[in-house]
Structure 1
Amino acid sequence: MKFVYNLTKPYIFVVYLFNIWSVFCKLLDTSYSKPGDIKLTGSALVKFDVQGVSLVHCGSLCSEDECCKEVLYNATSGRCIGSPFSDFKSTLNNLVEASYDGMSKYQKGCESGWLEFKAHCFLHVLDLVSWYDAKLVCKKKCSYLVEINSLEESNWLASTFLDKVTCGADEFFSCTSWIGGNDMNVEGSYVWDHSNTSLVYTNWHPQEPSLLHPSDASTRDCIDLLRSGRWNDRPCLYSNTFICEKKFGD
């Protein structure tokens, strides 16, 4: 009897192991909360609704989607639903209506590359772009240009992302980053872009906003963060790095 060795079987096995390893690595970069005891009921527009998958596979589907906020899972049926960020639903395509009776919720944490602070996630993007383009990039990630609400937060962002040994001598033109504040609509009345709320807390540099050159104020409508944690107003077309923010918790 002639023995025939099937070379495709080792290949299939290697591909299988690679796929398992890829899923595992994705989950290592993203944490999920433990589900609560209460089973959810209701319906909503969701990112995806699949059947017959493991909880690990379900988590990996959400981990690789920047607009997936959490997963709902039924261990009996293997049903997996990916829920989007509610404040970005109107901008997302291909959402489907799904009921989720009897499912458990697993809350996604900060994704790979994002850092957590006070239950929010932050990403420093090093591309040099205008304030308008920075806003669009953050939006595509289902996030927004950072909105700073305390001295602690301002200092954390600056020390974490901007204050580096490679920074130049002039803090106004080295190691700066766009944030979400602007006064485009009414000169001198600054608001946060995403929440459309007035700035309750501010941390202006002593010379800002445009205090030394008040005639320039009308052309400097966007705020950037300096590496000292102080704020500066600047023309919105200036090429700058930027910080995106998203909140995963309820």
Structure 2
Amino acid sequence: MAVFFLSSFVLLLVLVQHSKVWGHNIVNLRCEVPTHGGFLSHHPGTGTVDTCTCTKTKEKVADLEKKIRLQQEQLVKSDALLSNLTDTLGSALEKIEKMEEKLKECPLGFVELGGSCYYFSTAKKTWPQAQEHCQSLSANLATITTKAENEMIAANLSDSVPYWWIGANDRESEGRWVWVATNATLTFTNWMKGEPNNAFEGTEHCGMIYWKKEKNQWNDIGCTRNFQFVCERSRI
């Protein structure tokens, strides 16, 4: 009887020991994955992979993949936002350019010719009064620097008015003709033959366009005469 119990006890110990070994092997098999070499790399000397380490690694990979997906989604949203902002900015710049262009238009009463604004008066004034009137409009009596500009201005003069004041004068220094707007010496001129001659007792110090008779040529004449006039200013 004693032999039977002893034998049974030994058998039970053997079964328990084998059960522990089998459980350990099952745990090890959870992280064993076939690879091109046969198995996943093992911890040195054990032939197994730590289950906890394997699980944590998988969790880290999954977490990184999730973060990457979130960043990619955020990048797509950022690209869309940037595209919208670019379109909005482009539209705003276009509106600003149109507003700037509109602001550069000539003021009421002026005509745009060749990039400048011109005012052709209907009232007659002396040369000093004409200049004063031009200045009240933020302008000056016209400065003419090219033949093309002279013809352009003349083309807009009234057919019924032969004489028009312009900004040429030698009021400060006899014989030194300058433009009232800049005090610059005349470089282009279109004087009538024999002009300027300072006739009538040396009182002709202001310039005009003799439009009707002399084909847009200039003449010097007394500044106290009353003529219509041409003002000039830059675009706003």
Are 1:35 and 2:22 counterparts?
no
Structure 1 residue ranges without an equivalent (≥5): 1-32, 38-58, 60-69, 71-104, 168-173
Shift of 1:36: 4.3
Shift of 1:186: 1.3
Letter in 1 for 2:219: N
Are 1:220 and 2:209 counterparts?
no
Deviations 1:138-190 (A, max 9, x none): 0011111000011111111112114x1xx3xxxxxx52110011001111110
Structure 2 residue ranges without an equivalent (≥5): 1-93
Shift of 1:206: 1.3
Are 1:130 and 2:141 counterparts?
no
Match of 2:139 among 143, 148, 156: 143
Letter in 1 for 2:232: E
Deviations 1:94-133 (A, max 9, x none): xxxxxxxxxxx96330123311111101011121110000
Where does 1:1-250 land on structure 2 (aligned, <5 Å)?
35-36=96-97, 107-162=103-158, 164=159, 167=160, 174-210=161-197, 215-216=199-200, 218-227=202-211, 228-248=215-235
1:34, 1:106 within 8 Å by CA — same for their partners in 2? Answer: no
1:179, 1:225 within 8 Å by CA — same for their partners in 2? Answer: yes
Letter in 1 for 2:139: S
Distance 1:107 1:175, change over 3 A: same
Query: 2-side partners of 1:178 and 1:157: how far apart?
Result: 12
1:209, 1:217 within 8 Å by CA — same for their partners in 2? Answer: no
Letter in 2 for 1:176: Y
**TM-score relative to the length of structure 2:** 0.54
Letter in 1 for 2:209: L
Larger CA Rg, structure 1 vs 2: 2
Distance 1:215 1:178, change over 3 A: closer
Query: 2-side partners of 1:131 and 1:188: how far apart?
Result: 18
Query: 2-side partners of 1:111 and 1:117: how far apart?
Result: 13
Percentage of pairs with the same residue: 28
**TM-score relative to the length of structure 1:** 0.51
Query: 2-side partners of 1:152 and 1:215: how far apart?
Result: 29
Distance 1:184 1:108, change over 3 A: same
Give 4+ residue runs of structure 1 displaced > 2 Å after superposition: 33-37, 105-108, 214-218
**Alignment length (residue pairs):** 140
Query: 2-side partners of 1:231 and 1:153: how far apart?
Result: 14
Distance 1:108 1:218, change over 3 A: same
SS of residue matched to 1:179: strand
1:187, 1:218 within 8 Å by CA — same for their partners in 2? Answer: no
Q: Which has the higher strand share?
A: 1
SS of residue matched to 2:132: helix
SS of residue matched to 1:156: helix
Query: 2-side partners of 1:232 and 1:156: how far apart?
Result: 18
Query: 2-side partners of 1:179 and 1:247: how far apart?
Result: 16
